[in-house]
Amino acid sequence: MVGKLVFERIVGPFASLWSHLKETAGLRDPSELTLEDFRVELAGLGLLGKGFGPDEYRTALEQRLGIEIWIEELPDRLTKEGDLAEVVVDEGSSKAYILVRESLRYRPWPAYELSIFHELSHLAAGHPLRVRRSEGNGARRRFRVLRSRLAKQNPSSFGYAAGLRESLETEARKRAKWLVLAGTCPGAFEADKADRLT
């Protein structure tokens, strides 16, 4: 009985991640990231075939994109209901901040990692990011696209304005799930015919 419980605790998160990967595989259109594109990105960052976590991916992105990326954990009381994490850019510099709900640290793996990878995915893909307001700035939300990105495709190619946000979120979810799998099981993405994952 104890062995079965331990087995379920170890295998459960991987089974859940695998089902999410299969779910995103059917959502592909020609403008989306392919598995081969993803492998090329990881190779360009020096991470293909290596185990890595959010910190290593963040550091590689900083060097490649020429920006600083900070991760700040916020107490749950300071976050909006339902928000797990968000990436914002500083108004006057090339700094990005990932604001993550503190309680995610205490959830089962890979909740925290998946949330951080999701926000890093927005940076890697070059998605429009919310500008962090300075004091005295108006209440209107502004968005900015950073000059550099890993993705080959232009974020505006993800769909028309009405569906753009959901398209960007789908892309970030897909990237984040692939990052968790690539960092945890590096050989899966390094092998030839790795497209069998999807």
Pairing between strand 68-74 and 95-101?
parallel
Q: Give pTM, 2 decimals.
A: 0.73
- Torsion over CA of 148, 101, 168 and 142, rounded to 10 degrees? -70
Mean pLDDT over the full length of the chain: 75
Q: Give the pLDDT score at 148.
A: 52
Q: What is the number of structural domains in the chain?
A: 1
Torsion of CA 139, 130, 119, 193, to 10 degrees: 150
pLDDT for position 53: 96
State the helix-helix crossing angle for 161-184 and 54-65, rounded to 10 degrees: 120
* pLDDT tens-digit readout, 150-173: 555 555 444 444 466 778 888 899
Query: For residues 143 and 91, which has the higher predicted lDDT (pLDDT)?
Result: 91
Sign of the dihedral through C-alpha 92, 94, 97, 98: positive
Average confidence (pLDDT) over 5-9:
56
More confident residue, 37 or 144: 37
- Express each pLDDT in 65-104 by its tens digit: 988 999 999 888 877 776 788 888 876 777 899 999 999 8
> What would the DSSP string read from start to end of 129-183?
EEEEPPTT--SS--EE--S--S-SS-GGGG--HHHHHHHHHHHHHHHHHHHHHHH
Which pLDDT score is estimated for 196? Answer: 46
Structural domain boundaries, residue 12: 2-197
49: left (phi over 0), alpha (psi -120 to 50) or beta: left
